[in-house]
């Protein structure tokens, strides 16, 4: 057994004693080295404790301190530490420090949630940013319920009623990527608060406009603000919480926001429409948006100066060409898909506009590849190198799943109101179980994300999402009780959404760098939004075609659904079969491209940071007079 030797003013630890040595210098050196690792790295942790960053030093300090059973504040009290078992010296000090971790303690403590702030503030912060997703879907679904009422009051023809929703979705979906990149440059907090304030103002103005055109314009401006705060919400969660249980809880709560927004939109819109003026739907939404704006201003932390390196470059760092290409291409595509069901798909300019839109989007992809390959000082709007097989499969799964899920909610509303002739309040009651189930499932999924392979979760989620519309597609007698098939379908739909959303968003967050979190949020939301838009256009076209065939009319003259009519039921079932197909296609993508045993919500322990030689303290028994001067 060798003893540590003096080399200048630094003590260097030589070969350690074999495992199991009960006493002696080697055992002491082992303990001292482990204690030194904890002390130095816990000091780093305490400096960074109020900024929960994802850098290696902080994550390592947490790992080492907790592996010894310490809280960060206890790292300065080595008498509370348990003695670690010594091992032979490794090639590097990184490996040497790692060997002193208690494996059992690491497995137990690595799963403890690590919070950037107090628990109360973290809960309030997550609730605030979840409000963005909640408000987005609420703004759509609440208007779906009151569309007939608004149409009658503003004299809007039934063929153009869908623009009450589509005008919002058009600007929301088309500006997501642009606002996501702006948020990564100028700050996610700024864009979130500004977008929320804009949504508040536009929602408050909406019920006071006098005609159809003005109403559609204000709805489009409303979507422009939502496109700013929704992707930044995901970015804020991505950079605030490190990988682990706390992040799993945060993303699961955010995942519950979208389906709960749809459910609550049905509930309170139906209730208000039944007992008051439809204008109060927008008034109540504006109040919620105002609360979210204030909470965001006070609760979302300002990033430290070192976390804002891009803002100095200003507008010169924005890929304006890419922004123009992707925005114009998406606007043209969504407009064509929406109008195709209004004016007919055989109208000459519809297919022409679709082709032009696709060509512009292809040009956008090539432009992004060129910027990335050239290493330009102006970074691309979207890094195409991120689109490997698995990342692309995640994006495709997102689009397909939410094409089926969103369409299920839309056509379930049509079934209850258009075919069964139920009132808004009666329709609302049938959506209540999804809200209750959504809260329970979100809590369960948050705990499963760190324990169950993500592949198994995605299979279950996509399977549930496919079965929900299937129950509306099969020829079940219309007099069958709601509790026999309507209720199971509602619960299955929200099970699918509450599983798929956090899995897919967590994967996106882990795949991108911290400075690209907002654009990642924009990507995942954009794919879901365009899945909804394209899926709704196709399903509506199928529904209309089947109704026209059964009525013996042309598609242009098919008219509205009628209560209890066989042709209306056949059209709804045909659309539900299409929605089932979306869910099955999403399941197929998961089975083919996302097969692995990875647990996306599990924390992987960071490698310990090696101490500099001068940071290794000399045992008291070996100190010389020269050491006292150090």
370/591 Cα distance (integer angstroms): 33
Evaluate if residue 460 carries a pLDDT over 90.
Answer: yes
Cβ–Cβ contacts within 10 Å for residue 311, how many? 15
Query: Residue 475 gets which letter from DSSP?
Result: -
pLDDT at 465: 93
Q: Which residue has the higher pLDDT, 570 or 12?
A: 570
Q: Let me know: does 266 contact 552? Beta carbons within 8 Å.
A: no
Mean pLDDT of 357-366: 93
H or E stretch at 11: strand 10-12
Count of H helices and E strands in the chain?
19, 2
pLDDT at 362: 94
Query: Residue 301 gets which letter from DSSP?
Result: P
| Angle, alpha carbons 597-111-47 (nearest 5°) | 125
Burial class (CB in 10 A: 0-12, 13-18, 19+), 534: middle
What is the DSSP track for 60-116?
Answer: HHHHHHHHTT--GGGTT-GGGSPPPPP----SSHHHHHHTTS-HHHHHHHTTS---S
Mean pLDDT of 204-212: 89
pLDDT at 205: 93
Mean pLDDT of 607-618: 44
pLDDT-derived band of residue 306, with 50, 70 and 90 as boundaries? Answer: low
Q: What is the pLDDT of residues 279-302, one digit of tens each?
A: 999 999 999 999 999 999 998 887
Tokens matching residue 36: 């030194």
pLDDT at 456: 93
Evaluate if residue 533 carries a pLDDT over 70.
Answer: yes
Q: Which residue has the higher pLDDT, 75 or 565?
A: 565
Instruction: Please state which of the ranges 253-257, 288-292, 497-501 shows the lowest mean pLDDT.
Output: 253-257
pLDDT at 136: 87
pLDDT at 245: 80
Closest among 265, 535, 341 to 273, alpha carbons compared: 265
Closest among 72, 419, 441, 17 to 252, alpha carbons compared: 441
- The two beta strands, 5-7 and 10-12, are antiparallel
Q: Which residue has the higher pLDDT, 602 or 627?
A: 602
Instruction: Please state which of the ranges 277-281, 437-441, 602-606 shows the lowest mean pLDDT.
Output: 602-606
Q: Which residue has the higher pLDDT, 531 or 400?
A: 400
Q: Give residues with Cβ within 8 angstroms of 376, minimum separation 6.
A: none
Q: Give residues with Cβ within 8 angstroms of 489, minimum separation 6.
A: 408, 412, 467, 468, 469, 471, 472
Query: Residue 310 gets which letter from DSSP?
Result: S
pLDDT-derived band of residue 316, with 50, 70 and 90 as boundaries? Answer: low
Range(s) within the chain of domains with CATH label 1.20.1250.20: 119-593
Q: Which residue has the higher pLDDT, 115 or 536?
A: 536
Q: What is the pLDDT of residues 334-345, one digit of tens each?
A: 888 878 777 777
Which residues on adjacent β-strands are paired with residue 7? Answer: 10
Using a pLDDT cut of 90, give the percent of the chain over it: 21
Q: Which residue has the higher pLDDT, 576 or 185?
A: 576
Tokens matching residue 249: 């809880």
49/40 Cα distance (integer angstroms): 14
Query: Residue 612 gets which letter from DSSP?
Result: P
Show the DSSP H helices in 155-308 as ranges: 163-174, 176-186, 188-205, 212-240, 245-275, 279-299
Evaluate if residue 623 carries a pLDDT over 50.
Answer: no
CA 299 to chain centre: 19
Cβ–Cβ contacts within 10 Å for residue 484, how many? 11
Tokens matching residue 166: 């589509």
pLDDT at 294: 94
| Angle, alpha carbons 583-587-588 (nearest 5°) | 115
432/421 Cα distance (integer angstroms): 19
The model's pTM is: 0.69
CATH class of segment(s) 119-593: mainly alpha
pLDDT-derived band of residue 91, with 50, 70 and 90 as boundaries? Answer: very low
Torsion of CA 39, 43, 46, 51, to 10 degrees: -130
Q: What is the largest CA-CA distance in the chain?
A: 104
pLDDT at 490: 92
pLDDT at 61: 38
Using a pLDDT cut of 70, give the percent of the chain over it: 74
143/95 Cα distance (integer angstroms): 59
318/469 Cα distance (integer angstroms): 42
Evaluate if residue 555 carries a pLDDT over 60.
Answer: yes
Q: What is the pLDDT of residues 578-596, one digit of tens each?
A: 999 999 999 999 999 888 8
Which residues on adjacent β-strands are paired with residue 11? Answer: 6
Q: Which of 270-274, 374-378, 418-422 has the highest mean pLDDT?
A: 418-422
Mean pLDDT of 365-381: 83
Evaluate if residue 87 carries a pLDDT over 60.
Answer: no
pLDDT at 627: 44
Tokens matching residue 376: 């330009």
Tokens matching residue 41: 């790295």
pLDDT at 391: 86
**To the nearest whole number, what is the mean pLDDT of the chain?**
75
Q: What is the pLDDT of residues 4-41, one digit of tens each?
A: 444 443 333 333 333 333 333 334 444 444 444 444 44
Q: Which residue has the higher pLDDT, 70 or 426?
A: 426
């Amino acid at each position: 057994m060798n003893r540590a030797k003096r080399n200048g003013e630094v003590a260097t630890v030589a070969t350690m004693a074999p495992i199991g040595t009960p006493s002696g210098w080697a055992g002491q050196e082992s303990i001292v080295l482990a204690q030194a690792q904890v002390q130095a790295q816990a000091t780093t942790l305490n400096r960074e404790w109020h900024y929960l960053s994802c850098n290696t030093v902080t994550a390592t300090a947490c790992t080492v301190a907790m592996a010894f059973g310490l809280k960060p504040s206890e790292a300065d009290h080595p008498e509370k530490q348990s003695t670690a078992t010594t091992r032979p010296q490794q090639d590097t000090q990184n490996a040497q420090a790692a060997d002193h971790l208690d494996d059992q303690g690491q497995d137990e403590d690595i799963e403890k949630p690590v919070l950037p702030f107090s628990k109360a503030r973290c809960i309030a912060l997550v609730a605030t940013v979840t409000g963005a997703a909640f408000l987005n879907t609420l703004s759509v679904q609440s208007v779906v319920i009151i569309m007939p009422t608004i149409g009658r009051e503003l004299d809007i023809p039934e063929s153009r009623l869908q623009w009450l929703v589509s005008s919002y979705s058009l600007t929301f979906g088309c500006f997501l990527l642009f606002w996501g990149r702006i948020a990564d440059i100028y700050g996610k907090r700024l864009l979130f608060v500004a977008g929320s304030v804009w949504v508040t103002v536009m929602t408050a103005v909406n019920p006071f406009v006098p005609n159809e055109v003005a109403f559609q314009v204000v709805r489009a401006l409303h979507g422009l603000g939502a496109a700013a705060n929704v992707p930044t919400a995901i970015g804020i969660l991505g950079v605030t919480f490190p990988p682990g249980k706390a992040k799993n809880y945060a993303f699961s709560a955010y995942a519950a926001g979208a389906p709960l927004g749809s459910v609550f939109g049905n509930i309170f819109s139906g209730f208000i429409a039944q007992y008051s003026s439809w204008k109060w739907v927008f008034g109540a939404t504006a109040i919620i948006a105002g609360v979210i704006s204030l909470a965001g201003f006070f609760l979302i932390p300002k990033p430290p100066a070192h976390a804002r390196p891009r803002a100095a470059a200003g507008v010169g760092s924005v890929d304006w060409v890419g922004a123009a290409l992707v925005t114009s291409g998406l606007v043209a595509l969504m407009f064509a898909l929406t109008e195709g069901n209004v004016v007919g798909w055989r109208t000459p300019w519809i297919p022409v506009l679709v082709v032009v839109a696709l060509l512009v989007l292809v040009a956008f992809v090539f432009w992004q590849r060129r910027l990335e390959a050239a290493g330009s000082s102006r970074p691309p709007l979207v890094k195409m190198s991120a689109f490997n097989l698995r990342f692309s499969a995640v994006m495709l799964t997102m689009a397909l799943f939410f094409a089926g899920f969103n369409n299920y909610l839309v056509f379930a509303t049509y079934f209850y109101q258009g075919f069964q002739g139920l009132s808004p309040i009666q329709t609302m009651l049938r959506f209540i179980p999804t809200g209750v189930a959504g809260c329970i499932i979100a809590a369960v999924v948050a705990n499963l994300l760190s324990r169950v392979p993500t592949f198994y979760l995605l299979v279950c989620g996509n399977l549930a999402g496919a079965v929900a519309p299937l129950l509306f597609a099969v020829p079940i007698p219309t007099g069958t009780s709601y509790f026999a098939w309507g209720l199971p379908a509602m619960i299955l739909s929200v099970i699918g959404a509450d599983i798929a959303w956090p899995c897919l968003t967590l994967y996106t967050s882990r795949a991108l760098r911290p400075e690209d979190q907002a654009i990642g949020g924009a990507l995942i939301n954009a794919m879901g939004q365009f899945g909804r838009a394209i899926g709704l256009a196709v399903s509506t076209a199928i529904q209309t075609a089947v109704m026209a065939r059964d009525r013996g009319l042309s598609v242009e003259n098919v008219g509205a659904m009628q209560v209890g009519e066989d042709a209306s039921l056949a059209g709804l079932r045909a659309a539900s079969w299409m929605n089932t197909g979306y869910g099955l296609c999403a399941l197929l993508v998961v089975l083919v491209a996302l097969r692995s045993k990875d647990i996306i919500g599990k924390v992987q322990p960071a490698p310990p940071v090696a101490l500099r030689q001068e940071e290794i303290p000399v045992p008291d028994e070996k100190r010389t007079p020269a050491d006292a001067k150090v």
